Amino acid sequence: MTTFLPFPASDEYADFYSDYIQRAIARQDILAALPLQIDELHAALDPLTDAQALHKFGPAEWSIKELMSHLIDGERVFSYRLLRISRGDETPLAGFDQEPYVRESGADSLALKDLLQEFEFLRRANILAIRNMSAEAALRRGTASEAAISARALIYIMVGHVEHHVACLREKYLPALK
């Protein structure tokens, strides 16, 4: 059972993920950060109406609902990679293009509370899977998006990805709604 998860080494992930990894490392306790991010998203977004959640900070940007859909997609993709790699599956895993995923999500027609709940349920399931993962499984490596990656790095990426987008919410979206 994973109770402590040391920082991944730089050879455990592609350079593209460095920002996410650094954001996750800044949280110190990665296992504590996983459930805290659920609370942070609720604190930031629960006060919003569905109309407010349609806000975009620029014409080519995602709405808040679309951003939540992207977080859901990211959680699913990263956790699927985590499952496959932690189980020793060495099959190279394809990348994904986030723009069509968001475009096809239909997020703007969904209730913000439902999007938040979907993310929360996914994250809670992932927390259980991560806590039940052996230290050996967390160190396993595979390939995703044509780059080497470890299961451990994927956990850090999951946290860092949410950190990145919560920072964007706080800096670019929410100030316009006050």
User: Which residue stretches of the chain are H helix?
Assistant: 18-26, 30-45, 64-86, 98-105, 112-131, 135-139, 151-168
- What CATH number corresponds to the domain at position 166? 1.20.120.450
Residue 111's pLDDT band, with cuts at 50, 70 and 90, is very high
- The verdict on residue 26 lying in a domain is yes
Residue 99 Cα distances to 12, 40, 114, 159, angstroms = 26, 25, 21, 21
- The verdict on residue 37 lying in a domain is yes
Q: What value does the mean pLDDT take over residues 54-74?
A: 96
| Residue 81 pLDDT | 98
| Residue 178 pLDDT | 77
Total of domains in the chain: 1
- The verdict on residue 3 lying in a domain is no
Residue 27 CB-density burial (10 A; 0-12 exposed, 13-18 middle, 19+ buried): middle
CA 66/CA 69 separation, integer angstroms: 5
- The verdict on residue 74 lying in a domain is yes
The size of the chain, in residues, is: 178
Mean pLDDT of the chain: 96
- The verdict on residue 1 lying in a domain is no
Side chain identity at 114, as an amino acid letter? D
Residues 5-62 pLDDT 10s: 899 999 999 999 999 999 999 999 999 999 999 999 999 999 999 999 999 999 999 9
- The verdict on residue 2 lying in a domain is no
Which candidate, 170, 61, 37, 58, places its Cα nearest to that of 116? 37
Cβ pair 42, 119 in contact under 8 A? no
| Residue 22 pLDDT | 98
